[in-house]
Amino acid sequence: MINMRLFLRFYEDYFRIRYFDSQNLKPLLLAYFVTYRCNLKCCYCDHAHNNHSHKFPELDTVQAIEVLKICRRGIPAIAISGGEPLLRTDIDLIIKSARILGFKPVSLFTNGLLLPRYEKILDDLDFIQISLDTINEKVQDKIFGIQHSGLTRQLIDIITFYARQQQKRHFRINLNAVLIPDQLDDVIPLYYFASKIGVRLTVCPQLLDNGQYAPALAADQKYHSTIDRLVTLKSQNGRVMDTTEFLSHIREFRSFRCYPYLTPRIYPNGDLVGPCPVIAEKRYPMLELGSWEKAYQALITDFGKNYRCPSNCFLPCYLETSTLMIHPWQSLKELFRLNIKLKKVNETELMELFKGKKPYPAGNIQPELHKNPVVTPEAP
Ligand code: SF4
Ligand code: SF4
């Protein structure tokens, strides 16, 4: 099934770009980073190494849901991300609220290690994107960057366990692999693993902190041939989730016209960042402004209807959405491939979830994150 609201929004934007060369676009996807804390320290991760969580105190539950309400007035779909979003003990309330407010699809980006603790959220998600770069356990354990034996093995078990539940519970798992020079040989085996257990694969190149590509990767023949192979697998109707346009851009690190207003990003403290996290010249506090229209108008006033990016980075969510605007028919095919199922929404369930729950505090609670980063699923 295709999400009509997203479909109409997409084509409205497409015509604005095509015939008016306008950046006055209506956003497609809200990226809400609910926390910057994480229970891992992946070797390529900016959050893990620059400790952004101290700069961005988190909102409490009620505030976080208020931000969702404000943004829902202007944006049809949501991706909840982090840091590791499952470190928030109110993540079930946030996701359920996103569903009740009518975001469609609702996606969650996670490292998956705490999923068994919150597995009920799967009933409210359309997509769950789990980071896994390789099934080579030694390599992946090293990438995770913390001392915890058998972490990758446990993650693979978790993914395999929930992959079996996708059809019945109407959600989809995408594995997301960051392409780094040391693991390029492992990407196609990862693809076959994903196919075997019935999940899909997305990739993104390792990027520098400013979203630029690492020159070593761009010069690596193995990198090019890996992308070529993924393009072929995709054309054979394989389980590659990225668009062909996206793959061809990251293969050559070709510059592209970026439309950052399509994917507004909210930081853990509730600020909308303008025009994007790389340039980050302005912040708009959503709770203070209290209205999506006001925040969006301020963004357009500050950066203009015809904003042209001075630097061109390769942040996947901006590149993927912006390049969707180049080929409308291919994009339509991609929207169909999303195959979003209708899920029933039950508002009373939210009240049930609230009952007896300790309030999630604003600020940054810092439990000892890396001591026990994984929860194992219970047998069915
Ligand atoms: S799981 Fe994600 S947020 Fe956490 S360290 Fe790894 S890449 Fe960073
Ligand atoms: S290309 Fe990168 S730096 Fe430029 S506007 Fe888009 S996200 Fe921002």
User: 312-345, pLDDT tens digit by residue?
Assistant: 899 999 999 998 887 777 777 777 777 666 677 7
pTM: 0.93
Q: With a 6 A CB cut-off, is 84 part of the ligand 1 pocket?
A: yes
The number of domains in the chain is: 1
pLDDT given at position 378: 66
Nearest-atom index, ligand 2, CA of 307: 5
Q: Is residue 366 part of a domain?
A: no
Q: Is residue 377 part of a domain?
A: no
pLDDT given at position 380: 43
- Residue to mutate (ligand 2; options 282, 299, 311; most atoms within 8 A of CB): 311
Average pLDDT over residues 175-181: 96
pLDDT given at position 142: 94
- Closest listed residue to residue 36, CA positions, set 373, 366, 378: 366
> Are 38 and 84 a contacting pair, CB within 8 Å?
yes
Give percent of the chain with pLDDT exceeding 70.
95
Average pLDDT over residues 187-210: 96
Higher pLDDT among residues 16 and 262, named by residue: 262
pLDDT given at position 52: 75
DSSP output for 95-154: HHHHHHHT-SSEEEEE--TTGGGGGGGGGG-SEEEEE---S-HHHHHHHHTS--TTHHHH
- CA distances for 153 relative to 156, 235, 318, 325, angstroms: 5, 31, 32, 39
pLDDT given at position 46: 83
pLDDT tens by residue, 114-156: 999 999 999 999 999 999 999 999 999 999 998 888 999 999 9
Lowest average pLDDT, out of 125-129, 217-221, 306-310, goes to 306-310
Q: Is residue 360 part of a domain?
A: no
Per the document, the length of the chain is: 380
Nearest-atom index, ligand 1, CA of 40: 5
- Residue to mutate (ligand 2; options 249, 258, 324, 325; most atoms within 8 A of CB): 258
Average pLDDT over residues 99-116: 96
Nearest-atom index, ligand 1, CA of 41: 5
Cα separation of 178 and 44, whole Å? 8
- Closest listed residue to residue 256, CA positions, set 197, 196, 321, 207: 321
Looking at every residue in the chain, the average pLDDT score rounds to: 90
Q: With a 6 A CB cut-off, is 34 part of the ligand 1 pocket?
A: no
Structure-token pair, residue 206: 């390792």
**Whether the predicted pLDDT of 358 surpasses 90:** no
Average pLDDT over residues 21-38: 89
Range(s) of the domain holding residue 96: 4-354
Angle, to 10 degrees, between the axis of helix 221-235 and the axis of helix 187-197?
20
Structure-token pair, residue 112: 């998956």
Q: Is residue 359 part of a domain?
A: no
Higher pLDDT among residues 16 and 217, named by residue: 217
Average pLDDT over residues 235-251: 92
Lowest average pLDDT, out of 115-119, 183-187, 205-209, 343-347, goes to 343-347
Cα separation of 239 and 46, whole Å? 28
| Alpha carbon of 305 to ligand 2 centroid (Å) | 15
Q: Is residue 369 part of a domain?
A: no
Q: Is residue 376 part of a domain?
A: no
Which ranges of 304-373 does DSSP label H, i.e. alpha helix?
A: 316-324, 328-338, 347-354
Using pLDDT thresholds of 50, 70 and 90, give the confidence band for residue 367. Answer: low
Higher pLDDT among residues 27 and 52, named by residue: 27
| Alpha carbon of 48 to ligand 1 centroid (Å) | 6
> Are 325 and 13 a contacting pair, CB within 8 Å?
yes
Q: Is residue 380 part of a domain?
A: no
Q: With a 6 A CB cut-off, is 249 part of the ligand 1 pocket?
A: no
Q: With a 6 A CB cut-off, is 40 part of the ligand 1 pocket?
A: yes
Cα separation of 320 and 194, whole Å? 21
Q: With a 6 A CB cut-off, is 275 part of the ligand 2 pocket?
A: yes
Give percent of the chain with pLDDT exceeding 90.
68
- Identify the bridge partners of residue 213 per DSSP, sorted by sequence position: 207
Nearest-atom index, ligand 1, CA of 48: 5
Q: How many other C-beta atoms lie within 10 A of the C-beta of residue 370?
A: 15
What CATH number should be reported for the domain holding residue 200?
Answer: 3.20.20.70
Q: Is residue 295 part of a domain?
A: yes
Lowest average pLDDT, out of 11-15, 92-96, 99-103, goes to 11-15
pLDDT given at position 6: 79
pLDDT given at position 346: 74
Average pLDDT over residues 242-263: 93
Q: With a 6 A CB cut-off, is 110 part of the ligand 1 pocket?
A: no
208-211 own/partner pairs: CB under 8 Å, 24+ apart: 209/46, 209/50, 210/278, 210/311, 210/313, 211/278, 211/311, 211/313, 211/314, 211/315
Higher pLDDT among residues 376 and 192, named by residue: 192
Q: With a 6 A CB cut-off, is 48 part of the ligand 1 pocket?
A: yes
| Alpha carbon of 282 to ligand 1 centroid (Å) | 25
Most confident of 194-203, 302-311, 365-374: 194-203
Task: Give me the half-sphere count of Cα atoms (radius 13 Å) on the Cβ side of residue 329.
Answer: 0
Look-up: residue for tokens 């479909």?
A: 7
> Are 240 and 317 a contacting pair, CB within 8 Å?
no
- Identify the bridge partners of residue 265 per DSSP, sorted by sequence position: 31
Cα separation of 12 and 85, whole Å? 32
pLDDT tens by residue, 32-75: 999 999 999 999 998 776 677 778 999 999 999 999 999 999 99
Residues 40, 42, 47, 48, Cα dihedral to 10°: 60
Q: How many other C-beta atoms lie within 10 A of the C-beta of residue 308?
A: 10
Structure-token pair, residue 317: 């969510």
